[in-house]
Amino acid sequence: MKITRKQFLKLGAGSLVALSGATAVAERAAGDRASPEKSNAASARRQYAMVIDTRKCLQRPGCTQCMEACHQAHNVPYINNPDHKIDWIWKAPFQNVFESYDSPYIQITLKNEPVLVLCNHCDKPPCVRVCPTGATWKRKEDGIVTMDWHRCIGCKYCIVACPYGARSFNFTDPRPYIKHLNPNFPTRHEGVVEKCDFCAERLAGDKPPVCVETCPVKAITFGDVNDPSSDVRKLLGAGLTLRRRPQLGTGPNIYYIV
């Protein structure tokens, strides 16, 4: 059979399309088994969570110790330009964090007082759902939403999808902006997204997240929300706590006592 160059090219193009379709279907089947929704259904697994007592936090206005410690431990660059600033944990005004609890007659201590915010390590994280490469995922064993900075293509779709503004993009090479390099934690490069990882590297060594450890007033409690005897569960069972935008169905795992 004679085959012209044109026919050959057409054949090649056709088989490429078929191939990409087939791999997609196979991956999809594999993806279903590991989907975060299903891993959460098993209640025996851990799901790390935090309870932040804003009353304690507000005792020390202007305190930034947890933020400093976190950013230093994780080689987060100090970029002053607010447009390109990178934050893993930071403070935002109460009425912006909890806009549905805002009122003109709100308790004066809460009005404009900053509240600690960080990644919510959602039960159903929108960022994981939209990531086109699987560069961010929810860990099955402990519910931490984590990232692979080598797979991230920097499309920023996760930033767009996150309803909490918890993710930051490296608009430039962050290395020159690192104050004190921590040699035990990777640095990042320009063009990738990053965020809080609940100190997965410290948890592996049975140490609590660095913000929990550093807080001078012990305002942050950390633990497994699936374990009824954990400290977080005791706090959650003792009184009313708030979560950010729970109506979106993301299942945030950062709780606030106000």
Partner 1 sequence: MFMFEKALVGSRRYWIWVGFLLGVILFGFHAYVREHELGLMITGLSQDVPWGLDIAQFAFFVGLGASAVVLVLPYYLHNWKAFSKVTVLGEILGMVAVFMAMLFIFVCMGQPWRVLNVLLYPHPNSLIFWDLSVLSGYVLINAVITVTVLSAERDGVAPPRWIKYVILLSIPWAISIHTVTAFIFSGLAGRSYFMTAILAPRFLASAFTSGSALLILLVLLLRRLGVFDVGPEAVPKLTGIVTYCMLVNVFFIVVELFTAFYSRIPEETESFKYLFVGLDGTTNWVPVMWLSILLAVASLVVFLVPRWRTHPRLLPLACAFAFVSVWLEKGFAWIVAGFTPSPLGVVTPYRPTWPEWSVVLGIWALGTLMLTVFYKIAAAVKTTAEAGYVTAITKDAVYPGRVA
Site of interaction with partner 1 (CB under 8 A): 2, 4-6, 10, 13, 17, 20-21, 23-24, 27-28, 31, 35, 82-86, 92-93, 95-97, 99, 117, 126, 129-135, 151-157, 159-165, 168-173, 190-193, 245, 248-250
Q: How far is CA 117 from the centre of its chain?
A: 11
C-beta of 229: minimal distance to partner 1 in Å?
33
CB of 82 to partner 1, least distance (A): 8
Based on CB atoms, which residue is closest to partner 1, 16 or 238? 16
Copy the structure tokens of residue 23: 């791999």
Nearer to partner 1, 152 or 196 (CB): 152
From the centroid of its chain, how far is CA 147? 9
Nearest to 167 by CA among 198, 132, 136, 193: 193
Q: Shortest distance, CB of residue 178 to partner 1, whole angstroms? A: 15
Q: Cβ distance 258 to 54 under 8 Å?
A: yes
**For residues 157 and 198, which CB has a smaller minimum distance to partner 1 in the complex?**
157
Residue 3: which residues within 8 A CB-CB, separation 6 or more? 11
What's the gap between Cα 126 and its chain centre? 10
CB of 13 to partner 1, least distance (A): 6
Residue 149 or 185: the one with the smaller Cβ distance to partner 1 is: 149
- Residue 178, Cβ density class (10 Å: 0-12 exposed, 13-18 middle, ≥19 buried): middle
Phi and psi at residue 51, to the nearest 5°? -115, 120
Q: Could you tell me the smallest distance in angstroms from the CB atom of residue 122 to partner 1?
A: 10
